[in-house]
Structure formats: structure tokens, C-alpha cells
Structure 1
């Protein structure tokens, strides 16, 4: 979920699902947007549902609009009912007013507690590689820090470029997904030229 914009999946990289977390929300790096770009919150009584689906579909998160509608309802159905969606779902907008990216300041149940979670980071292909990913992630992490002192995210080894970026934001491996834990992080250590396994003793 959330970071296919940083890579194109390849069969040469073995797929493992994995989880990362930021053990505290202190000293989040800040990255400014290029001139003319902006962030917009989800608006009620608009077609923002479709904008989200279009962005994530273009980024390869799912293949059809029908799948996108299912994912939107799964992750944001309750948020729409209590209007939390208009406080948590962010869009990245280009200078012409086109919605080109999205990320969500989410909440997950972790060990019986509600914890901050970074959801659905996506940027449409023609705007990838334009130094927009880090400003988007940074902005949403600052929002998560307003209600949580920790942040989790789910990803996969095929998204290794995204994993490398999240490590720049001080995310470390989480043992909450123990299956293939060492295999996954050994592979990611090689791909990212980092020793992620050194961070195991910091995990939750």
C-alpha cells in the first residue's frame, strides 16, 4: 500500500511484505515543495474520491477503478462517516491545479493501541522524479505528529526505493511482521546499501 510511485515492480526482486516504524516523531525532516505546488485536504461534496482513485491507479496501486473503489471504501469508509477523512487525506496539487499525488495521515491498531500510520503515498508517473515525494511524506508526517508519538507503515521489498526514502525519515524495521523478517531485511540492506538489521534492537 502506498509507495509504488518510487519504483516499477520487477520479477528480479523477491517479494516479501514488511513493516517499518518511526519510534518517535521528533525532528522530522522538512522538505519544501517546488514553487507553485500545494497541498489540499479532501473536500466533502466533491469528486475527491475519484481523484484519489485516479492517482493511485495511475501509480499502479490497483488495475481497475472498481478495485480502487473497493480500496477507498475499505480504508476511508469509516473516515467518511465521522468526517475524519477531511482532516487526514491529503492531495498534492500542481501549479495548474491538477491533483497529482496523495498521502494519508492514518491510524492503525497496533498491539491494542491506536497509533499513527502513513497510508497510500502515491504520485502519478509523469510527476515522479521531480523531488515531490519527500515534501509530501514530510508534510503528512508532521500532521501525524500532531496526534501520535509513533508512526507505522506497510510496504514490500519490491518497493525498495521507497524503503530507502523512509529510512531517510528515520523509519526502522518492525518485527510486527515476523514472517521472513531476516530474509526481507537482508535483501533490503543489499538493495539500499544499508544495514537495516542493526536497527532490530530498536524495534517495537
Structure 2
């Protein structure tokens, strides 16, 4: 069976390269292309598409929001995120958005076709150097840690959060340090990005 793919990237030349790469491997046909989320949603209405290969850097809504919308309105469509942003926080956000797999753009060229076929098969046992597993073990954040991360992502400072929660700024900082360790990220900016990405996700999308 031929896997039918939609490519979503805002660079036409890049899409052309991906198309050539995928179709040269056999067993894959690129049946749709889109350079922006709206065009992707319109193309997704065609039930013949098996896998949408999405970049995260898209104009407007962006790749994560597009992934959520595709999964909501076209549940039969499988989504493979193909991005150079492959840090732990981004991968977790992709899982929360409903992606089936996440491939780093720095992977070997042939890995893209392998990943597409694996997604079609429902095969999660991909080699680690070719695809990032979305079911990564991780300690869950506590309710207090989630609350603080949400407030931080909403633009509140440490002192504001401390006042709102009737705790000391040092306690807020301690909770943020704990969240960083659990999320396995190296900076506060990545914690904030995690909070922003999950603000529009269901509660179950939080780690």
C-alpha cells in the first residue's frame, strides 16, 4: 500500500526537496502540499491523506496549533512533526498537541521516509537516532508547580506570583527549579515556552 503524504512547510523549495526525497524511496506519494495552516486544514479534508508532515515554524498559528486542529477535525490523519526544534520541551508540546511522532531535521536524509512509513504502520519502535520518542518517561509536575509555570508563562514575575499565592519569592524559585529538573530543560526560558505551549492544551497534556 502506498502511503499518501501532505507536506506542510512555508518554503516551496524545501517542500520540493522533501517531495523528491520521499517519492524516490518508493511506497510513498506526496498528494498535497501547504505553506500555511489554513491551506493545510483545507487539504486535510481529503480523507485520502495518511500522514501530514509538519514543520513547527509556520506563519500565523504555527505548527503546534495546526497539529491540534488537524487532530481535532481530521482524526483519521496521522501527524509527523519534522523540525530542527527538537528539545525536550518542544517534543513534549508536540505530544500534547496530538502528534504521532517527532523527527529531528538533523537526522539522516533517509530517516524521513522511514519515519513516515513507521507512522503509517503505527510502529513506535523507531531507532533513537532517527526519531525522538514521544512517550518519554518523566516525573509529573505537582499542582503547585503547574500553577506557577502557568502564571510565569502568562507574564507574571516571581514577586507577583509569590504575592498571589501567599508564599515567598524563594519558594517560587524553588518550585521553578524543581519544574526545570522534571522537564529536563536547561533554562527558565524553556520552562516558560513549556507553559505557553500547554496553556491551550487539555489539562491532560501537562506533564
For normalisation by structure 2, the TM-score amounts to 0.28
Give the structure, 1 or 2, with the largest relative contact order (CA under 8 Å, sep 6 or more). Answer: 1
User: TM (normalized to structure 1)?
Assistant: 0.29
Larger Rg, first or second structure (1 or 2): 2
Higher helix share: 2
